Amino acid sequence: MTTLQPPIEQVWEIDRAVDDLVRGEAAWAACGLAKRRELIERVHAATAEQAEAWVRAAAAYKRLPEGSPLLGEEWITGPYPVLTSAGTLASTIGALEAGRSPVDGFSVRPAPGGRVAVRVLPHSVWDRLLLSGFSAEVWMRPGVTKRAVRSRAGLGQRRPTLTGGVGVVLGAGNITSIPVLDVLYELYAHNRVVALKLNPVTDGLFEVFSRVLAPLIDIGAVRILTGGADVGRYLVHHPKVGHVHMTGSAATHDAIVFGTGEEGAARKKAGTPLLDKPVTSELGGVSPTIVVPGAWSEADLRYQAEHIATQKLHNGGYNCVASQVVVVGSDWPQKDRFLAHVRRALSEAPARPAYYPGSDGRVEGAVASYAGAERIGGGRVLIEGLDAADPGPALTSEYFAPVLAVLEIPGDAGTFLTEAVRAANERFAGTLGVNLIAHPRTIARLGSSLDDAIADLRYGTVALNAWTGVGYLTAAATWGAFPGHTLDDVQSGIGVVHNALLLDAPERTVVRGPFRPAPRSVLHGELALSPKPPWFVDNRTAATTGRRLVDFAAAPRWSALPGIFASALRG
């Protein structure tokens, strides 16, 4: 393993930043709940002020042209979730200030397997209007009672003077809200002051992030650093740093925790980490989308194919939870027609640059692995005909690129679902997110067996007729791998983030959405008024809708709704 250190000027800068945080920990400990609520409210206001600059900076490094509908992705996954998370955190702190539980006012119900579930979406009237037909629950770990949920919610803010030292956040380079959300979670959930090391591809956001986090920087609770791997290595091994949180791949995690090359592999095998401090992580994996057989209309086939294209191509395919394998029924009479629609949706999705480092090489590696790999155009690849007995690397290697594979499993809806769940749990790398798509009539026929399937899936977010990305965008939901992973078998990571209710011992988030967009949903009896969601890659008004959603999240008000609805309906 290389032991190169940063240039001495950067070493001094890192040391100064860490020393500032050591002093800042005392200042953070002295902040009572009212002050902490005021600080997160100021972060909310700063995010609103910086939203335009934030999106411009993100578009610059992702090389998105001015006026592109794809800019909607940057509005909706950049400032928007930071605004909603900051608002929810402020409400959580306010509840604790008033001597209440943050969960007061949220529905808590029994869930399968001795669990309880906290309904976090919809919660407000705004949720019911803006996300009609969508819902999300946080399922707690088995044995956690309703009383425990209410009494333990608040995490580090229940005893704010007991701080957790200096933590490092190694920022993500793909979704621009991740670094800021991770900083907020370290501070408010774990009471750790934070050194944020930016991924080099996001260096253009340094000024924006500095202004957004300025209230926390000013009291010494946050410092932001830039630089390459040498800076990150020096920082995480700094003797005054007590904890590391990272977002990335399992391979990057192992390089940080165990080192690289033969020595790193030997340390991993022996269970002797090179990094001698706790590490939490949100990592990627191979996210499946399980398409349950049913009798679909042509419009259903087309819409759900566009849904899958979004799950794959959102942000160019550079998402930890991007769908990589579509699991379909080999006996489904509509399989071929559906896959034809998937191929069309992939080919017709807007072209975009491969901005993330190494993407082209990963695409070429996928093509080299499969003789039947089909180049769709725009750098996209579709791989059909995986051998169920030996499907190859598509199930075990995260491509983090616009590559989509198809795995076929036989059986009617019930048999197929059982086998698909088994495959997802036992054969796919990672546990971050899994998507299920099923017709409402099929859902009704499956009954409790579908609920059992959701409970059996060992994933941190399970989405039925929605993309797991909706869970990412839901401030009060949890985001992270299924619990139980270890440093030497990290899969999709350890711990959770987001979780703005500060719930203790969550297991997963379960998201549900409408099978059809409005107005077809209404015509078929679904209680959902949402049109095609603005995060769909072929949504023509995504940029306008995204901008208006950010403006609304900055200052929720009735007068803003007509403009949002009008833009969304044109999408």
Q: Give the 3-state DSSP-derived string for 364-411, with helices as H, strands as E and coil as C.
A: HHHHHHCCCEEEEECCEEEECCCCCCCCHHHHCCCCCCCEEEEEEECC
In a domain, 550, yes or no: no
For 448, the domain range is: 287-462
- Tell whether the model's pLDDT for residue 57 goes beyond 90: yes
- Tell whether the model's pLDDT for residue 94 goes beyond 90: yes
Q: Name the pLDDT band for 378 (thresholds 50, 70, 90).
A: confident
Looking at 227, 249, 283, the residue that finishes a domain is 283
In a domain, 551, yes or no: no
Identify the H or E element spanning 208.
Answer: helix 206-212
346 and 387 inside one domain: yes
Q: Please say whether the beta carbons of 10 and 228 come within 8 A.
A: no
Q: Looking at residue 489, what DSSP letter applies? A: B
CA angle 393, 399, 404 (to 5 degrees): 80
How many domains would you assign to the chain? 2
How far apart CA 295 and CA 337 sit, in angstroms, is 12
Lowest mean pLDDT among 282-286, 387-391, 504-508: 387-391
Give the side-chain half-sphere CA count within 13 A for 533.
28
Number of Cβ atoms within 10 Å of the Cβ of 99: 6
Q: Name the pLDDT band for 424 (thresholds 50, 70, 90).
A: very high
- Beta-bridge mates of residue 168: 195, 244
Q: Please say whether the beta carbons of 402 and 382 come within 8 A.
A: no
pTM here is 0.97
- Tell whether the model's pLDDT for residue 275 goes beyond 80: yes
Q: What is the mean pLDDT of residues 309-332?
A: 97
Q: Please say whether the beta carbons of 415 and 450 come within 8 A.
A: no
How far apart CA 293 and CA 76 sit, in angstroms, is 32
Please report the pLDDT score of residue 296 as a whole number.
Answer: 98
Mapping DSSP onto H, E and C, the string for 114-133 reads CEEEEEEECCCHHHHHHCCC
- Tell whether the model's pLDDT for residue 17 goes beyond 60: yes
In a domain, 382, yes or no: yes
377 and 247 inside one domain: no
How far apart CA 2 and CA 524 sit, in angstroms, is 61
How far apart CA 402 and CA 312 sit, in angstroms, is 7
* Residue 431 neighbours by CB under 8 Å, 6+ apart: 285, 458, 459, 460, 481, 482, 485, 491, 492
In a domain, 511, yes or no: no
Looking at 230, 253, 283, the residue that finishes a domain is 283
323 and 277 inside one domain: no
In a domain, 142, yes or no: no
- Tell whether the model's pLDDT for residue 302 goes beyond 70: yes
In a domain, 130, yes or no: no
Average pLDDT of the chain?
96
How far apart CA 503 and CA 4 sit, in angstroms, is 41
In a domain, 524, yes or no: no
- Tell whether the model's pLDDT for residue 421 goes beyond 50: yes
**CATH code, domain carrying 416:** 3.40.309.10
CA distances from residue 565 to 129, 133, 303, 518, 524 in whole angstroms, order as listed:
9, 15, 20, 12, 21
368 and 405 inside one domain: yes
Q: What is the pLDDT of residues 428-457, one digit of tens each?
A: 999 999 999 999 999 999 999 999 999 999
Give the side-chain half-sphere CA count within 13 A for 33.
18
Q: What is the mean pLDDT of residues 185-205?
A: 98
93 and 193 inside one domain: yes
- Tell whether the model's pLDDT for residue 299 goes beyond 50: yes
419 and 344 inside one domain: yes
What is the biggest distance separating any 2 CA atoms in the chain, rounded to whole angstroms?
A: 67
For residue 398 the two structure tokens come to 């995260």
Looking at 429, 444, 462, the residue that finishes a domain is 462
Please report the pLDDT score of residue 502 as a whole number.
Answer: 98
Q: Name the pLDDT band for 3 (thresholds 50, 70, 90).
A: low
How far apart CA 210 and CA 102 sit, in angstroms, is 29
266 and 297 inside one domain: no
How far apart CA 45 and CA 522 sit, in angstroms, is 37
Q: What is the mean pLDDT of residues 10-20?
A: 97
Sheet containing strand 243-248, edge to edge, reads 222-225, 193-197, 166-170, 243-248, 279-283, 493-494
Place of tokens 């959930």: 189
Q: What is the pLDDT of residues 387-405, one digit of tens each?
A: 989 999 999 999 999 999 9
Please report the pLDDT score of residue 462 as a whole number.
Answer: 98
Q: What is the pLDDT of residues 95-141, one digit of tens each?
A: 999 999 999 999 999 999 999 999 999 999 999 999 999 999 999 99
- Tell whether the model's pLDDT for residue 160 goes beyond 50: yes
315 and 251 inside one domain: no
- Tell whether the model's pLDDT for residue 415 goes beyond 70: yes
Q: What percent of the chain has pLDDT over 90?
A: 96
In a domain, 3, yes or no: no
**CATH code, domain carrying 184:** 3.40.605.10
- Tell whether the model's pLDDT for residue 1 goes beyond 70: no
* Residue 387 neighbours by CB under 8 Å, 6+ apart: none
278 and 309 inside one domain: no
Q: What is the pLDDT of residues 456-498, one digit of tens each?
A: 999 999 999 999 999 999 999 999 999 999 999 999 999 999 9
- Tell whether the model's pLDDT for residue 44 goes beyond 60: yes
349 and 365 inside one domain: yes
For the CA atoms of 274, 249, 50, 564, the dihedral, rounded to the nearest 10 degrees, stands at -150
Q: Looking at residue 248, what DSSP letter applies? A: E
264 and 250 inside one domain: yes
254 and 372 inside one domain: no
DSSP codes, 58-113 = HHHHHTPPTT-TTHHHHHHHTHHHHHHHHHHHHHHHHHHHTT--TTTTS-EEEETT
Q: What percent of the chain has pLDDT over 70?
A: 99
